[in-house]
């Protein structure tokens, strides 16, 4: 089992500008929906964005964290 706060902490350490939302899908601490928005994703493929998040979680996906639905988005600069 992994706490939502730990997921946020690990991602924030790897991507300090990230906005992270975590939803416990079953209330069991094992299955989460994670949304990460970051400027750091600019110019990266979706696969590379996801690899970055999996690296930030340091091998916990599939172990302590049984299931995760991941959504990543690039934060676009507001130039208006």
Q: For the chain, which domains are there?
A: 4-74 (3.30.300.90)
Q: Half-sphere exposure (CA, 13 Å, Cβ side) for 51?
A: 5
pLDDT at 79 over 60: no
User: Residue range 7-22: average pLDDT?
Assistant: 95
Q: Which of 42, 55, 78, 28 is nearest to 70 (CA)?
A: 55
Look up the pTM and report it: 0.84
| Exposed/middle/buried for residue 79 (C-beta within 10 Å: 0-12, 13-18, 19+) | exposed
* Separation of alpha carbons 1 and 31, rounded Å: 9
Q: What is the pLDDT of residues 19-42, one digit of tens each?
A: 999 999 888 877 889 999 999 999
* Separation of alpha carbons 46 and 49, rounded Å: 5
Q: Sorting pLDDT into bands at 50, 70 and 90, what band is 73? A: very high
Q: Sorting pLDDT into bands at 50, 70 and 90, what band is 64? A: low
């Amino acid at each position: 089992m992994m706490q939502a706060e730990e997921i946020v902490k690990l991602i924030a350490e790897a991507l300090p500008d990230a906005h992270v939302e975590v939803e416990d899908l079953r209330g069991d601490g094992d299955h989460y929906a994670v949304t990460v928005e970051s400027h750091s994703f600019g110019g990266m493929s979706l696969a590379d964005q996801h690899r970055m998040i999996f690296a930030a979680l340091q091998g916990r996906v599939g172990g302590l964290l049984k299931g995760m639905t991941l959504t990543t988005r690039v934060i676009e600069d507001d130039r208006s």
